[in-house]
Structure 1
Amino acid sequence: MTTDLVSIIVPCYNQSQYLDECLLSVLNQTFADWECIIVNDGSTDSTQKTAKKWLEKDERFKYAFQESSGLSSARNYGIKQANGEFVLPLDADDKIGVDYLQLAIKEFKKNTKLKVVYCKAEKFGEVNEIWKLPEFSLHNLSLKNMIFCTAMFRKIDCQAIGGFDVNMLYGWEDWEFWISMLKKGGEVKRINSIQFYYRIKSDSMLMAMNPEKVKYTEEYLSIKHADFFVKQLGSFKSLLRATDEVKNDYEEKLNSEKFIVNSFFKKFLGITIFRNK
């Protein structure tokens, strides 16, 4: 493993039309000590042909093929072959800013307690806007994910948790990954610069998350990381208690409002609007 070398892992499944743009953003990095492993996850389009063109352009690009096994498996396959101390996953339809690697490595050098470094982000494609995400905290992470997959971490920390979970079949695999990596400690830093560009497409995996898939994924996460969710959110009993308290408070306010409305209409119009059941 080479110190300071960043291994950029680019899984690609039938997205060759975006691959050139993605890899150009890698080639343009101001930080030169990188390798980029393009993982062809059983594509049936021109992914191999496009990738080979980049291998001829710069020897830092590398190519690997596996039978189609899904996004998490493709990332793991690339990470297993990575020579760098640091890893940055990058999906084939996304892009990174020219200073991302340089800024991220700088943060790791300043603080040895860091486990994850990411940045501000912007959406492009069918939507063009700043990607507004909550500030990181473990509590916020227990509610939703705010760290996209293209964040930098050490390979050794990835290996310690077994990589990306291949059982996350329908998406949110990055959310599960960050929970696994951070729930027992480690600091996180967000760079105050837009260095990641997330392509919005109508056929993206997140767009395909129907209620049944959401239910499966939420239940899987809840079981696998029960310790984390209980610590951050409380037990199911405490959640039920809090729900009941909110319900009772709402009913008290509603009854009070009903009393005020009834008093007004009875006094001035001689009628009762709300009647007790």
Structure 2
Amino acid sequence: MTSVSIVIPCYNGGDMVLAAVASALGQTHDETQVVVVDDGSSDEATLRALDELRDDGRALVLSQPNGGPSAARNLGIEMASGEYILPLDHDDEIHADYVARAASVLDSEPATGIVYARAERFGASEGEWDLPEFSLKAMFARNVIHACSMYRRTDWSLVGGYSTELRSGDEDYDFWLKILALGRGVVRLDEILFRYRDVGSSRAHVMTHADRVEALARIFAANSDLYVEHADAMAEMLIEHQRQWDMLAHFKKRYGRIEDAISRAGGFRARLTGRGRTAH
């Protein structure tokens, strides 16, 4: 049985990290190690939770000065013993047979480098996380592989780990693209095995358009060979985006006239009403 390490970076996660670790420790795959990396947490609830985990002894708990999730994951993987790695954020959870199901795919399919499951949201919103099925065209448009996906530790080493130069959240996208550049395949499990906690205020919600453009430019520059190698998929994505923009422009032009007419009518009605009140 192939060994797997679940790596959980934690920064001021409060009691949520205990639930994440409990879901990791509850895996049906016998050869599962749980590694928690304290990324310089400072709040009392988190420090108490981490002390509880250390006292429990079933998880390896490491500490580092605050360096961000990429640095925390890289440290955890460096110290982990598993041949396969499954990252898990401190506020998320996994179903009991996720590791067994994903590891079975990597065991039986040497050409596969990434295995992920369908996901569900909980917390601020509930229901299935509607991510499209993987394809290079979809991946070039945006990241469609969530962070809690299993891969081989050897591939982590080959690509140099997670980038610590990108904004939080973008390091996952960059990391998956680098593994794809190795020629690895991707498999999505059909079951919902990952539980993503929607806290209602993720970094993705607060990034400006300029931030997003800058991040995508850096990701593109770091993975330009992959984009060039699969120029056909890139071209398909760009054509589809152009169609969407053309359709948006069409509707804006068509229905914008109606909106303008309604606006003008509203102004005219207001002037009429105002005159009527003045007359009285």
The residue number in structure 2 matching 1:218 is 216
AA aligned opposite 1:82: A
Report the CA distance shift for 1:243/1:98 in structure 2 as closer, same or farther (over 3 A). Answer: closer
By how many angstroms is 1:243 displaced?
Answer: 5.6
* Residue number in structure 2 paired with 1:167: 165
What does residue 18 of structure 1 align with?
Answer: 16
Q: Aligned partners of 1:98, 1:105: CA distance in 2, in Å?
A: 13
Unaligned runs of 5+ in 2: 254-280
Measure the CA separation in 2 of the matches of 1:208 and 1:32: 40
Q: 2:215 aligns to what SS in structure 1?
A: helix
How many pairs does the alignment contain?
244
Aligned position for 1:261: none
Identity across matched positions, percent: 31
Q: Please give the per-residue CA displacement for 1:194-232, whole angstroms capped at 9, x wherever unaligned.
A: 110001112322222222321220111122222323423
Query: Is the contact made by 1:138 and 1:183 (CA closer than 8 Å) also made in structure 2?
Result: no
The aligned counterpart of 1:142 is 140
Which structure's residues are more often helix, by fraction? Answer: 2
Moved more, 223-232 or 21-30: 223-232
* SS in structure 1 at match of 2:15: helix
Are the counterparts in 2 of residues 149 and 174 from structure 1 also a CA contact under 8 Å? yes
Query: 2:179 maps to what in 1?
Result: 181
Matches of 2:179 and 2:54, distance apart in 1: 32
- The residue number in structure 1 matching 2:72 is 74
Rounded to whole Å, the distance in 1 between the matches of 2:4 and 2:168 is 28
Alpha-carbon distance in structure 1 between the residues aligned to 2:124 and 2:10: 20
Equivalent residue letter for 2:215: T
Aligned pairs (5 A) from 1:237-248: none
Q: Is the 8 A contact 1:170 1:209 kept in 2?
A: no
User: Are positions 1:50 and 2:42 aligned together?
Assistant: no
Could you report, residue by residue, the CA deviation over 1:173-213 in whole angstroms, capped at 9, with x for unpaired residues?
11111101012411111111111000111232222222232
Q: Which string of whole-angstrom CA distances, capped at 9 and with x for unpartnered residues, describes residues 30-60 of structure 1?
A: 112111111111111133431231233343x
TM-score, structure 1 as length reference: 0.81
Contact 2:25/2:34 (<8 A) preserved:
no
Deviation string 1:71-107 (CA, Å, 9 cap, x unpaired) is 1111111111111101000000000001101111111
Q: Distance in 2 between matches of 1:132 and 1:182?
A: 22
Verify the 8 A CA contact 1:26 1:96 in the aligned structure 2. Answer: yes
Q: Indicate how the Cα distance of structure 1 residues 34 and 200 shifts in structure 2: closer, same or farther if over 3 A, else same.
A: same
